[in-house]
């Protein structure tokens, strides 16, 4: 039978253990936020000034509505050229089983070759059925990671295979993906795609916006800028 002395020893032991866990856990959070660099993949490579219209897109690489929203957004960007600036934030939705792994692959590839990030995002959109819940429900998590590593290497170049694979063992890439999630949720975003235009959320979050929709949002802003001059 346990004596009061062993009980108090056990109590102290677990109390100490608990304190260590709490200190380490909060230390890890404090370390990652705010992040050393702002979250997001910048699509448009041009200067931003006070007249530049800023679009922030919140996307999930395995979400069909995010996929459908991408071509018209690209078309609008092409139309507006340097007047519009786009940054993409990832929001891996918890009910898309492989969204986090796919998002992490994007962070890994972005660190290896920034110019390949959007190529990989577009390939995820093109072939995202492969990574849907139903299609992967018999696969282990390790098998899914493996298949996403192979997929990403095929897209960005097989010479990257081992770097992408080891990226999944690098805690930093996990932290970056967590920062994306936290950034998105801290903005109150809970559906993909969601778009902010000059800092304000556009209506119908979770649904794609077509090309005419983008024109109807952005044309008036640019016209209003002209009146100010
Ligand atoms: C980086 O990616 C771009 C776009 O996919 C590609 O053209 C370029 O060759 C890549 N650079 C390297 C060093 O692999
Ligand atoms: C998963 O396994 C079940 C049972 O073996 C099988 O009926 C089903 O077709 C499998 N699904 C896929 C997507 O492979």
Please give the number of the atom of ligand 2 that sits closest to the Cα of 136: 13
Ligand 1 in reach of 115 Cβ (< 6 A):
yes
Residues 6+ apart with CB under 8 A from 165: 149
- The pLDDT, as a whole number, for residue 14 is 59
pTM of the model as a whole: 0.86
Please give the number of the atom of ligand 2 that sits closest to the Cα of 135: 13
Q: Which residue has the tokens 């370390």?
A: 31
Name the pLDDT band for 30 (thresholds 50, 70, 90): very low
Ligand 2 in reach of 31 Cβ (< 6 A):
no
* Mutation to probe ligand 2, out of 134, 135, 136, 138 (largest number of atoms < 8 A from CB): 138
Name the pLDDT band for 147 (thresholds 50, 70, 90): very high
Please give the number of the atom of ligand 2 that sits closest to the Cα of 138: 1
From the list 180, 145, 177, 182, the residue with the least C-alpha distance to 164 is: 145
Ligand 1 in reach of 163 Cβ (< 6 A):
no
Q: Which ligand is nearest to the CA of 155?
A: 1
pLDDT tens digits along 152-189: 999 999 999 999 999 999 999 999 999 999 999 999 99
Ligand 1 in reach of 114 Cβ (< 6 A):
no
Distance, CA 109 to ligand 1 centroid (Å)?
A: 11
Distance, CA 135 to ligand 2 centroid (Å)?
A: 9
Ligand 1 in reach of 6 Cβ (< 6 A):
no
pLDDT tens digits along 98-109: 999 999 999 999
Ligand 1 in reach of 119 Cβ (< 6 A):
yes
In order of start, what are the domains of the chain with their CATH numbers?
41-228 (3.40.30.10)
Strand-pair category, 84-90 with 53-59: parallel
pLDDT tens digits along 50-86: 999 999 999 999 999 999 999 999 999 999 999 999 9
Task: Spell out the SS3 assignment of the chain.
Answer: CCCHHHHHHHHHHHHHHHHHHHHHHHHHHHHHCCCCCCCCEECCCCCCCCCCEEEEEEECCCCHHHHHHHHHHHHHHHHHHHHEEEEEEECCCCCCCCHHHHHHHHHHHHHHCHHHHHHHHHHHHHCHHHHCCHHHCCCCHHHHHHHHHHHHHHHHCHHHHHHHHHHCCCHHHHHHHHHHHHHHHHCCCCCCCEEEECCEECCCCCCCCCHHHHHHHHHHHHHHHHHHC
Q: Which ligand is nearest to the CA of 114?
A: 1
What's the first-to-final CA gap in the chain, in angstroms?
A: 86
Give the C-alpha separation, 18 to 204, whole Å. 44
Q: Which long-range contacts (CB under 8 A, 24 or more apart) does 151-155 make?
A: 151/105, 151/123, 151/127, 152/105, 152/108, 152/109, 152/120, 155/116, 155/119, 155/120, 155/123
141: tokens are 């998590």
- The pLDDT, as a whole number, for residue 46 is 86
């Amino acid at each position: 039978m346990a004596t009061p002395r062993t009980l108090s020893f056990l109590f102290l032991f677990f109390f100490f253990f608990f304190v260590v866990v709490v200190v380490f856990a909060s230390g890890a959070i404090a370390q990652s936020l705010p992040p050393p660099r702002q979250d997001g993949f910048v699509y448009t490579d041009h200067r931003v000034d006070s007249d530049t219209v800023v679009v922030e897109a919140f996307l999930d690489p395995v979400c069909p509505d995010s996929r459908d929203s991408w071509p018209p957004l690209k078309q609008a960007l092409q139309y507006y050229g340097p007047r519009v600036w786009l940054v993409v934030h990832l929001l891996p939705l918890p009910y898309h089983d492989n969204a986090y792994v796919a998002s992490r692959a994007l962070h890994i590839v972005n660190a290896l070759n920034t110019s390949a990030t959007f190529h990989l995002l577009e390939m995820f959109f093109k072939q995202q059925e492969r990574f849907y819940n139903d299609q992967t429900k018999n696969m282990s998590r390790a098998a899914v990671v493996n298949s996403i590593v192979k997929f990403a290497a095929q897209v960005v170049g097989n010479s990257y295979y081992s770097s992408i694979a080891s990226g999944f063992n690098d805690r930093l890439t996990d932290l970056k993906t967590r920062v994306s999630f936290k950034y998105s949720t801290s903005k109150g975003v809970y559906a993909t795609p969601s778009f902010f235009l000059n800092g304000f959320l556009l209506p119908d979050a979770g649904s794609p916006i077509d090309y005419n929709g983008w024109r109807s949002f952005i044309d008036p802003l640019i016209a209003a800028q002209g009146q100010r001059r």
